[in-house]
Amino acid sequence: MARLETIDGGWLELTPTAYQFETDRAEDTHDRNWLWVEFAAELGPQLQVKRRADPAFLTWELVHLVEACRSIIPSELPTRVLDGLEPNLVIDVLDLGDEEYTLAVGAALSFAPHRREPFDQPFEARFQVRKRDLSAFVDQLEGELRLFPPR
């Protein structure tokens, strides 16, 4: 489990748990790389999600999240570090302080706290995280992804 703690005591968790399809049942590169991912969050009143699981990301989308978070360029903010083919979860880095980042997270579709119309309209939360906590989250996620390399 990769857990990101916010400065004000909130958190979000991402846990890749399995490939959606076995290799021999997958028709193409995309099908071979869909991952079941568990998501949970308590990010204030605007975004509270009990644990949900969905084949929400391709392997390389989560690899991109790791790489993007490790190479944030202050002059290029705001920047989106996670935006999957299925828009279940998006993460933007909005601002950079001396020791913290301001992030925005949008959860929609199967990761939304509850159904809303239009169905794909995300629930959003903005919060601050310490740089060291974002680094720890990225390290944890990278460790989890070693079990699920792109194939």
Assigned domain for 46 exists? yes
**pLDDT in the model for residue 58:** 95
**pLDDT in the model for residue 23:** 77
Assigned domain for 64 exists? yes
**Ranges of the chain with pLDDT below 50:** none
Assigned domain for 126 exists? yes
CATH of residue 90's domain is 2.30.31
Of 80, 33, 93, 41, the C-alpha closest to 57 is: 33
The torsion region of residue 47 among left (phi > 0), alpha (psi -120 to 50) and beta comes to beta
Assigned domain for 6 exists? yes
Assigned domain for 19 exists? yes
pTM of the model: 0.91
**pLDDT in the model for residue 22:** 82
3-state secondary structure of 34: strand
**pLDDT in the model for residue 34:** 94
Sheet of 89-96, strands arranged across: 79-83, 89-96, 100-107, 123-130
Assigned domain for 151 exists? no
Number of domains the chain is built from: 1
Assigned domain for 150 exists? no
**pLDDT in the model for residue 86:** 86
**N-terminal to C-terminal alpha carbon distance within the chain:** 21
| Full residue range of the structural domain in which residue 139 is found | 2-145
User: What is the spatial distance between Cα 55 and Cα 144, in angstroms, rounded to a whole number?
Assistant: 16
Assigned domain for 63 exists? yes
**pLDDT in the model for residue 118:** 67
Mean pLDDT of the chain, nearest integer: 91
pLDDT per residue as tens digits for the range 66-106? 999 999 988 899 999 999 888 889 999 999 999 999 999 99
